[in-house]
Homo-oligomer: A and B are copies of this chain.
Amino acid sequence: MTHPRIAHPGLATRRVDAAQAAEWIQPGMAVGMSGFTGAGYPKAVPQALAARMEAARERGEPFALRVLTGASTAPELDGALARAGGIDFRLPYQSDPELRARINRGEIEYMDIHLGHVAQYAWFGFLGPIDVAVIEVAGILPDGRLIPSTSVGNNKTWLDLADKVIVEVNHCQPLGLDGMHDIYYGTALPPARRPIPLLQPGDRIGEPYLRVDPDRIVAVVETNAPDRLGSFAPPDETSKAIAANLVEFFRHEIRAGRLSEQLLPLQSGVGNIANAVLAGLQDGGFSGLTAFTEVIQDGMLDLIESGVITMASATALSLSPPAVERFVANIGLFRERIVLRPQEMSNHAELVRRLGCIAMNGMVEADIYGNVNSTHVAGSTIINGIGGSGDFARNGFLSCFVTPSTAKGGAISTIVPMVSHVDHNEHDVDVIVTEQGLADLRGMSPKQRARAVIANCAHPDYRDALQDYFDRALAGSAGRHTPHLLGEALSWHQRYLDTGSMRG
């Protein structure tokens, strides 16, 4: 066989180059793309599309799309399309600097939506029709089914709903991925929905391949490029302190009988602090853990390899280049311990609630009353989006949010009188952790929470000012359930905008 990755004879004849494939996409279309936290995004068609957009712009013809993905992609997709002025509307999570800058200049309409809601919103018809799907896969089976790539994301939904499908077959993705995925085809629209028969993180309830009618595949593009993921910094002292505080809390909960030694399925957000927390579990003597999460990053791969985590469910493998090497070298082990699912399942309210996930997510800031901002700087500038944090914080067993107590070299306190944007409200936040300490907010009123957050989480440089705000609010607020001085509640953010620092 000349094309072992494209085993369907008819589809092998539909191989074209990326520029030809991109011709299927017309201005104004809605395009569902693969990609989740930098894994499994199409590598070639978006760039060819960006070139068409640039050419159209030079001719004075507008060429922009509605772009829907799994989550964040990479410069080759979000960056290239944004730079070409080719995105009118984008959802959900994103992290590309160029895309973000244009969103914050008001040039692109961005809808931030729970990652666990995207697929059902599309099926409900709330997001409009999907014209084209552009999906990276690891290979095509003789019957036309697709071997998923390093992320599943919303690929099932885009493949099912799109009028036309463009498949990118990436020769760089390990064929050992074959069999790791579990695509659940038991979903339905209400009122025909039934229980999802998943009881443990590792349960396989679907099939390993993505179904698609080969007749709807209009182009097959071959690529050979790795997911472009950076390496992680080794945990710094702040991250290690945050991790140590959280691990000590888990130990405390075990001693109190509220958690077993195996804890409960872990969900871990993305980034350096999340990796540090996972490293803390590695060092903390835990074993027999499981994960039911969105993304497997380097830190979780370490825990799986060492046996600390015996089974991990996710929707994406977002690994740095050295971790990819380890993954490929040891793929037999990882295939037994990792299941990759559609994000509709990895983040499903029913499953997160049933399994009782321990949610651990980063944040931008928390206020003294335990409201959390995961997305905005100073109330108006979006960073990446809420991701799946809400799916897990609302429905899990325990909702933990972690952050260093300051940012920008101390110019920003991440503990503030009132958050400038709320993504997780007081009802959804159990535990706040900084390098200073941990505030356990379970069973507390707002005022009790304020005292715990100020005492345990705030940086000493800001602690007195927070206490002063709380004391004056308690004395002067119209109501004393959640004492606030409205004229001052957001003044720390305004001061930061005005002076570059929250310091008084």
Interface residues of A (CB under 8 A from B): 89, 103-106, 109-114, 117, 121, 124-128, 189-191, 193-197, 199-200, 256-258, 264-265, 348-350, 353-356, 371, 376-382, 386, 390, 394-395, 397, 418, 420-427, 430, 442-445, 447-448, 473-474, 477-484, 486-487, 489-491, 493-494, 497
Contacts and interface: CB of A to CB of B under 8 A. Distances in A.
Contacts of A487: 490-491, 494
Copies of this chain held together in the complex: 2
24 contacts: A106-B480, A106-B483, A109-B448, A110-B445, A111-B445, A121-B442, A124-B258, A126-B258, A126-B430, A190-B354, A191-B355, A193-B199, A195-B350, A349-B394, A350-B350, A350-B354, A376-B482, A379-B418, A380-B479, A380-B481, A420-B486, A422-B425, A486-B490, A489-B490
Given A194-B199, A349-B395, A127 B486 contact: no
B349 A481 contact: no
A380 B114 CA distance: 28
Given A194-B354, A394-B394, 11 more contacts: A104-B479, A109-B444, A109-B448, A111-B444, A191-B356, A195-B354, A380-B473, A380-B479, A381-B478, A421-B482, A486-B491
B484 A379 contact: yes
B445 A379 contact: no
Name which of A427, A447, A448 has the most chain B CB atoms within 10 A of its CB.
A427
B486 A493 contact: yes
Secondary structure at chain A's binding surface: helix, strand, loop or mixed? Answer: loop
Contact of A482 (B258, B350, B382): B382
B264 A190 contact: yes
B481 A382 contact: yes
Contacts of A420: 484, 486
Nearest to A424: B425
A228 B193 CA distance: 39
Contacts of A128: 443
The 10 closest A-B pairs by CB, nearest first: A190-B356, A381-B479, A106-B480, A195-B195, A422-B422, A109-B445, A380-B479, A382-B481, A350-B350, A126-B442
B390 A427 contact: yes
B380 A477 contact: yes
Contacts of A422: 371, 422, 425
Given A380-B477, A380-B480, A479-B377, A427 B386 contact: yes
B397 A124 contact: yes
Nearest to A473: B380
